[in-house]
Each structure stands twice: as structure tokens, then as C-alpha cells.
Amino acid sequence: MKNQNKVFVLEGKVQHYQWGGFTYLPELLGIDNPKGEPFAEYWLGAHSQAPSLIKNDGSLAELIANDPAVLGEKVKNTFGTLPYLLKILDVKDMLSIQVHPSKEMAVKGFAAENAAGIQPTASNRNYKDDNHKPELMVALGDFWLLHGFRPVQSMHKMLDSIPELQFLLEVFGDGDYKELYKEVMEMSQEEVNRRLGPLLERIVPVYEAGKLQKSAPDFWAARAALTFKNGEDIDRGIFSVYLLNLVFLQKGEAIFQDAGILHAYLEGQNVEIMANSDNVLRGGLTPKHIDVPELLKHVSFHAVEPKVIVGTTLNGFEKKFFSPAADFELSQLLIEKDSSKSLYTPTTDILIVLEGKLVAEEENAGSQNPIIVDKGGSLLLTAEARIRLESPTGAVLYRATVPS
């Protein structure tokens, strides 16, 4: 390996998407926001769109390209690059209804759009790369999201309880999710307006009067109507607010979203890890491009019972949030005040400190000084790194790695 040191200070990239909040990420990262910009996501990884920087040593993408051995043999041979992207999100406004492709479909779609001459930055581009994008998120406080189609009984009850949506009961029948979703996605805009207009006229005033609870789909449908208002046209994604499971996560709870699962983040902060991809097919609640025929190729038309993951503590200080993904693994590390913990990684890991102060020292590093990481700071650990972690304050951090 070309690099003698195996522990580096890492700096991620902020994404200023319009749905982001104004204070959470600036306060976490210890930076000012004098222009009042939205701070939506903080990326840590080697994605070509926003590779993280290694202090005094270029980008993480360049490090891996110049010395793939930093990934460790297994990850280097299996993926050839860092297979995950770690993010911190602050969701102030609702994100789009969306789905991610499988690996096979991403490869086909990316190649087809390249062959068609669609530019990588074109607004009508569906595939930014040829990778899948399974995701795991852990709530950093109260968090709301939509996740997968409601089970049959729940769907019947929901549609029957909303007078303006009762027309969909016959379409859904005993559980025809495909016909139900096609109905609302292929509906003319004129019909969307005619069906949803009376519903919004009824619920928006109640929302504005503060009389709706977040546990009610009406709350999010009304908020969506106000957030994504576009003249007289109503966003068809509002249908999905009622068709999908409304999920509430408390701090420390997690959920996994695989290819094909329709979902949308509604409100809150989370730490999120995913395959190294930016492939998203949208189904509403957005002014961005929606390709309905392509979207329908990827949606899993079956009921979903949301599975909340609480994490498994394995060694007294590391809680792992297991998922089926081979590309990544996420865990929470709790370093008690004035305690010392040892950590080893066979591949490239990223650590981010969310609470407290961390002191990291590479074992057997000779005269190398300890690295002090404050709240919001990050570390890169390359393959075969052995480090000792201490904290004068107590610290909470998250670790991104690849399953061994």
C-alpha cells in the first residue's frame, strides 16, 4: 500500500437542495449560513458528483483510483471502488415520491440513455449511473416518511374513509396494486385536478387552522398541496400520500428501502447510507422530470409491512443496523467519557461524529499525533487500520463500512 498512514481527516460536501433546512447542518458542521441557503444533505464518499476531500491529500476518489489497495482485497475485487455513500439529511420540506432501480435495470437504463445521446446533466435523464441504490436510514430525532404500499385491508379502509378517493376501491379490487397505481399515474392532469380538487378544498383549511395531526395522511396531503402548488394544476403525488404506509420513526430507529419500494421522506433529520448511486425515478411531489412509463417498470406492486430496525449491540459500544445490502453496513458507536475503545477495519470506513469530541489515534503509528475530531467532523479509515478511540466528553458517531 502506498500510504503508510491509515487514518485521515475527511471533509464532505453540502448539497443545497430546496427542501433542506437552514440550521441543522450548519450547526452540526460548525459553519455559518449568512445567505440563508437551504442545507439539505451532507455527502461523505467517493461519488463523482461530490467526492469528499482528504485533508492535505486530494479527494477520496483520487486516493482510491491511485491506490485501490486502500479498499482491502475483498472490496477491491468485488466492487473496484467505494461501494457506498454516507449522508446526513435535514428534511424541512417533503421529498418526491420516488423509487430506485435494481442493479440489472440500472445497467440497462444507463446504457440505453447513453445510446440515445441524452446528456448526463439533462433534466429528462432518468439514470445518472449504472448502479442500484438500496438505502438504510437511521432517525436522528422524530422522523416521518412514506414507505411501500399499504397492506390490502389497510388500503381498503383508507380509500373507503376518504369520500373523494372511493372511486379507486373498484380499481384496487382485492389487491391489484399495479392497476391502482397506473390509474393515478396515467390519469390526465384534468382528471387529477377534478378528483383531488374537492379533497384539498376540504382538508387544506383544516391544516391551515392547525387541526390536523401528523399521524393523519390528510396533514401531509394538505402540506404537499401547498408546497408543490403549480397554478391550477394539482400534483398527482398527493394520491400516493394515501396509498403508501405513513411511518413514524423515533431517534435511533432505522428502516431499509430496497429497489422497487416507493417512498418519500417527509420531515426530520437522519443519517443515511446507500449504494454509491444517484439513480432516482420520481412519481410526484416534485417539479422535476417524471417519466411514468419508466417509473412503472421499477415499482414493486405488492403490499409492504414496514419493518423498523432497532439495531443490534455486538461489543458493548457498537450498534449495527443490519440490512440485506452487500454494498454497505451502518453502525452507531458510543464512546463513553474518558473511556478507550479499539476499532479495526479490513476495508475503507468513514466515521462522522454527531455528538461530543473524539480523539483518534492509530495504533502502532509511531510518532503520529492523535487526531482530534469535533462534532460534525469525519475520519477516513483505510484497509487494515487499527485505531484507538477516546473522548473527553463522551461521543456519538456513525460508522459506514462494507459487510465483511
CATH code of the region 13-72+80-145+249-298: 2.60.120.10
282, 386, 388, 399: which is the annotated catalytic residue?
282
Q: pLDDT tens across 264-281, in order?
A: 999 999 999 999 988 899
- 282 is annotated as an active-site residue: yes
pLDDT, residue 57, reads: 80
Question: For residues 155 and 173, what is the distance between their CA atoms, to the nearest angstrom?
Answer: 10
Closest to 289 measured CA to CA, from 113, 132, 137: 113
Cell matching residue 262 = 416507493
CA dihedral 181, 187, 193, 199 (to 10 degrees): -30
Asked whether residue 303 carries a pLDDT value surpassing 90, the answer given is yes
Asked whether residue 3 carries a pLDDT value surpassing 70, the answer given is no
List, in sequence order, every beta strand (DSSP E) within 150-288.
244-249, 254-257, 263-275, 281-282
The pLDDT > 90 percentage for the chain reads: 88
Q: pLDDT tens across 345-360, in order?
A: 999 999 999 999 999 9
pLDDT bin (cut points 50, 70, 90) of residue 39 is very high
| Exposed/middle/buried for residue 396 (C-beta within 10 Å: 0-12, 13-18, 19+) | middle
Q: pLDDT tens across 175-223, in order?
A: 999 999 999 999 999 999 999 999 999 999 999 999 999 999 999 999 9
pLDDT, residue 173, reads: 98
The whole-number average pLDDT for the span 358-372 is 81
Asked whether residue 248 carries a pLDDT value surpassing 80, the answer given is yes
pLDDT, residue 2, reads: 45
What's the whole-model pTM score?
Answer: 0.94
Q: pLDDT tens across 313-332, in order?
A: 988 899 999 999 999 999 99
Asked whether residue 367 carries a pLDDT value surpassing 70, the answer given is no
Question: Residue ranges per domain, the chain?
Answer: 13-72+80-145+249-298, 154-240
Which residues does 163 contact at the CB level (< 8 Å), separation at least 6?
none
pLDDT bin (cut points 50, 70, 90) of residue 365 is low
Angle at 77 between CA 10 and CA 257, to 5 degrees: 65
pLDDT, residue 48, reads: 83
pLDDT bin (cut points 50, 70, 90) of residue 366 is low
Contact 354, 140 (CB under 8 A): yes
* Contacts of the segment 366-373: beta carbons below 8 A, 24+ positions apart: 368/5, 371/7, 371/9, 373/9
Question: For residues 109 and 129, what is the distance between their CA atoms, to the nearest angstrom?
Answer: 9
Query: What's the mean pLDDT when you consider all of the chain?
Result: 94
Closest to 264 measured CA to CA, from 90, 147, 177, 102: 147
Cell matching residue 294 = 419508466
pLDDT bin (cut points 50, 70, 90) of residue 361 is very high
Q: pLDDT tens across 142-166, in order?
A: 999 999 999 999 999 999 999 999 9
Contact 235, 228 (CB under 8 A): yes
The type of residue at 353 is V
Asked whether residue 27 carries a pLDDT value surpassing 70, the answer given is yes
Q: pLDDT tens across 62-74, in order?
A: 999 999 999 999 9
Q: How many CB atoms lie within 10 A of CB 123?
A: 7
Contact 221, 241 (CB under 8 A): yes
Residues linked to residue 357 through DSSP beta bridges, in sequence order:
none
pLDDT, residue 128, reads: 87
Q: pLDDT tens across 106-143, in order?
A: 999 999 999 999 998 888 899 888 889 999 999 999 99
Contact 329, 401 (CB under 8 A): yes
Cell matching residue 327 = 454494498
